[in-house]
Structure 1
């Protein structure tokens, strides 16, 4: 029998939509009018499809009134609040790409992201959960004509509190800024003129991602990318206007914004945001109080929710399915979800930020053997293949790099043609492929099995962490000579950061808690090492395992770290 090539093509039906977000907003408002589009339980806010349309027009006019024009970037750093959705819809209306800024950023990371994306306007919460963002506000306030670290930034809008601007930089509250949309000089004809300039292949959203070097890049995602991706994922979940989705994942991530909000929005459903950041008790309360039918999250979130439900005795009445991303759902977890939540089938989605994000997804009709061990099959208008290191097409069942093509591919990286060419390459037939960096197998039925990562990434609770930035930070510490960060398996987060370290000569070995704070204060707490392993300690050799060319064999370190953590004594757990 001739081996089958590791190449698959998605369905050609239904046809793609070629429309802008602005036109979709108006269509949905006319179709669903006063049906509830979004609920923000923690803010006690409920907005209908008509209200979102009207409010996005007012905010869009306020953006035009301050001088924004087609192609100008708008940034937002906040939790899952109603203002976030309004900013996204308004920016989409007038052709201003919305840059979603990770709310775990340090102040320096925020400044760098705003600088790289050339934001002219930034919306910034005063806090996310219990974390104050006053330092972040101050670092943006410091951008003035006297201190031009952010020369493009013209205004900061605070989503809480009252801030006063300094020389050259205007600062306003959200309500004050929005009131500018009622200006007599900014009538509907001005808004319509701005909307008429927007095209489906224009950039709607900039999402920061990284390559194996950890160098931040912004994926340019278009109206066509995001609207169709959301639509097809919503189709896989069989969403209707009767569904109520609960969305704990953050809006700064494709999961919350596309697989959450836009999935729901394109299908006339209702979406609930229980809290500004993940609060398991508020999620469980929302499942019951809002009569939720679909729950989104990563496996760690589901585990926490099950723990709370076990204690409180709460159980949702209509929950029928859910969507997980970041890793597959084990059979054991699936059994618990079915028994304690009533979820019959949990869907698994796979993709990357650069592909809007989903390219593979399981189906409600998949057999259990596929639903818990694969990431499903390609979505419509998408193709995928598995290749060897030389670019040669492999056969089904052979491991290699997964590449994808089709409508979902990003337009490229913002102002970075070099990196775009590195990851997006045309084949001999002129087809453009995204090289994912993930190792995979395509089986005989066309399902994808993700077997590892070619690119060096740690995925903690669905969030990508890039080892190099952690390694560079650790080696800035006077007590560390060399560092290598790897993924350590973890029941709650899937993976956490583990670091193998070599002591600097003539210094005292730093304590693990000290190193954790050292990394966390600059890069964020989620990037701090959960485990530190010192070369020369029990079970660890005196030097890093290396290839003939001197590269550290990280897969060997992964194996050693996981054995020490899960099968042997661990001296360095933080």
Structure 2
């Protein structure tokens, strides 16, 4: 290998775990037995490894009794709850991919995701925090069975206690559904047969992501993908059965499901999910009461926790490390975490949904400089390279597009061969690479530095937001003639949505609140613009900055927006 080129390969040890999820469940039940596997304080639920194994069998048998077969998709939209784990493990046992649905979806976005993934069964919370999801369930049910908009959907299982009127798709309560899997003699043989058909390269999980166009795509992640990503991430955290992991990130994201639950599960640790959605007071309470040793989160979660601890004077007793992902972590934040939380070393992970998700991670042995300015080295049994515009590997220290390869690559996008071929391409040696769209540099020691994004992605507190769908929504407003959306720097979230707007001739300018509400009605609150800039206003300019071919120069608009926000007094911000 030419060590002057930006091409790195991870170590060959430890070995890949090449078994299906069902084998892992049974293996951990034998090894860890009565040890606590998961804790959900807000539900007053604590389950051991043996209990999870038993309950996953009950769930799998209930799915089989409903008529599900190998390859049928099962969806779930819920906060972090014990049912989420049971559905995921139950579906994994019998080869039914579990589609994790974003908690922030509007009813229309949910319907679209369920349709695209051809789910036959949906598990659905009736509430997430104070947010009522009755309308989401009604949208899935339709007025008749089957729902013409969702012809594959057969049943909805409610995780709450609400009842629904007759008509449309059947809604069954969770306990009633799982009771169908309680029969020992009747269903055991069918479960064994179903499990025997599952192989490690089967798809176990569908996670929705998007390209720069904003069109949703479902990444197909296999048993091999997720189990080994969990193995190596947990190894980087040095997890043991003595560890207690506190995990605020949601399980509809790889952070909560893979880097959180599966990493803890693989290494025999305990994991605590403090609440169904992020609640900083419950996170701090869980850290203290469960005596957590590891904390996961995006930087905004750590910032919120620091504020609470600083006010109350509370300090964790055993917290030894944390894992951050989603956006850069500054040295200042690292120092605050060390001082207030007692965490001596933090880990930083980088990846994407399509790489299940982590491809680079720092080490607890790294110096502070590497730990804060890089995303670490590539995982075992994986490789990475940085290429120029024509596909040549650039020298180390030079910027280009980051590509990754190895065990962690998705199987492709669900029923979307065209989009799969766009981002997953073989090189001249027949090696398959994922083209991330991120700009990076690999230094002389093999550490990766993420230097920008080739795609116009906005990362708000670890959540990916794609400008095109917001622009399309804004353009449907009668008063908006032209729109362009960019990421604007934000102290709390890393980035927030900012939009540059041109008023339609003869129309009255809508208020900022009206624009925010208009976007959030269809796309969710986190996609509503925090900063709104109108062409013609002081400092904005009279026209959109454009290239000679007429394309918006978003980097110019980002600079304008960041300058204007920096100049504006705090009280003037939304």
Q: TM-score range by the shorter chain?
A: over 0.9
What does residue 157 of structure 1 align with? 157
How high is the TM-score relative to the length of structure 2? 0.98
Q: Partners in 2 of 1:146 and 1:297 — Cα distance?
A: 40
Partner of 1:97: 97
The equivalent of 1:272 in structure 2 is 272
- The within-5 A match list for 1:53-452 is 53-142=53-142, 144-145=144-145, 147-164=147-164, 166-167=166-167, 169-183=169-183, 186-452=186-452
User: What are the residue-to-residue correspondences of 1:399-548 with 2, within 5 Å?
Assistant: 399-548=399-548
Deviations 1:103-155 (A, max 9, x none): 11001111110000000000000000010001001111116336411000000
Corresponding residue number in structure 1 for 2:6: 6
State how far apart, in whole Å, the 2-side matches of 1:529 and 1:59 are.
Answer: 41
Q: Which whole-Å CA distance do the structure 2 matches of 1:221 and 1:529 have between them?
A: 32
Name the CA distance, whole Å, in 2 between partners of 1:185 and 1:174. Answer: 22
SS at match of 2:541: coil
Q: CA deviation at 1:168?
A: 6.0
Contact 1:165 1:171 in 2 (8 A): no
CA distance in 1, matches of 2:481, 2:253: 35
**Helix, strand or coil for the counterpart of 1:31?**
helix
Gaps of 5+ in 2: none
How many residue pairs get aligned? The number is: 573
- CA distance 1:341–1:470, shift in 2 (3 Å): same
The secondary structure found in structure 2 opposite 1:187 is helix
- Partner deviation per Cα, 1:212-269 (whole Å, 9 max, x = no partner): 1000000000000000000000000100000000000000000000000000000000
State the superposition RMSD in angstroms.
1.3
1:444-496 Cα offsets, whole Å, 9 max, x none, are 01001001000111000000000001011111111100111100011100000
Deviations 1:266-289 (A, max 9, x none): 000000000000000000011110
Aligned equivalents of 1:144 and 1:269: distance in 2? Answer: 46
Q: CA deviation at 1:362?
A: 0.2
3-state SS, counterpart of residue 76 of structure 1? strand
Secondary structure, aligned partner of 1:179: helix
Indicate whether 1:556 and 2:560 are aligned. Answer: no
1:328-358 CA-partner distances (Å, limit 9, x unpaired)? 2211111111111110111000000000000
Shift of 1:314: 1.2
SS in 1 for 2:282: helix
Return 5+ residue gaps in structure 1 as ranges: none
1:328–1:374 CA contact under 8 A, matched in 2: no
**Does the 8 Å contact 1:143/1:149 carry over to 2?**
no
TM superposition shift of 1:361 = 0.1
- Between stretches 415-424 and 541-550, larger displacement belongs to 541-550
Q: Is the 8 A contact 2:126 2:162 kept in 1?
A: no
Question: Contact (CA 8 Å) 1:32, 1:268: kept in 2 or not?
Answer: yes
- The answer (yes or no) to whether the contact 2:146–2:153 under 8 Å persists in 1 is no
C-alpha displacement at 1:27, in angstroms? 0.1
Contact map agreement 1:154 1:168 (CA 8 A) in 2: no
CA distance in 2, matches of 1:225, 1:517: 39
Structure 1 residues 143 and 390: alpha-carbon distance in aligned structure 2, compared to 1, 3 A threshold:
farther
Spell out, residue by residue over 1:176-200, the C-alpha distance to the aligned partner (whole angstroms, 9 max, x if none).
Answer: 0000112477421111110000000
What SS class does the counterpart of residue 450 from structure 2 fall into? strand
SS at match of 2:373: coil
Contact in 2 for aligned 1:377/1:448 (Cα 8 Å): yes
Q: Give the Cα–Cα distance (whole angstroms) in 2 for the partners of residues 455 and 144 of structure 1.
A: 42
Give the distance between the partners of 1:236 and 1:182, measured in 2 at CA: 39
Q: 1:21/1:146 Cα in 2 relative to 1: closer, same or farther (>3 Å)? A: closer
Q: Distance in 1 between matches of 2:168 and 2:374?
A: 53
Normalising by structure 1, what TM-score?
0.98
Q: Quick one: structure 1 residues 521 and 53, their matched pair in 2 at CA, closer, same or farther if it must change by over 3 Å?
A: same
Q: CA deviation at 1:312?
A: 1.3
Q: CA deviation at 1:573?
A: 3.2
Partner of 1:218, secondary structure, is strand
Assess if the C-alpha contact under 8 Å between 1:497 and 1:531 holds in 2.
yes
Distance, in Å, in 2 between the alignment partners of 1:160 and 1:418 is 39
Give distance in 2, aligned partners of 1:3 and 1:344. Answer: 32
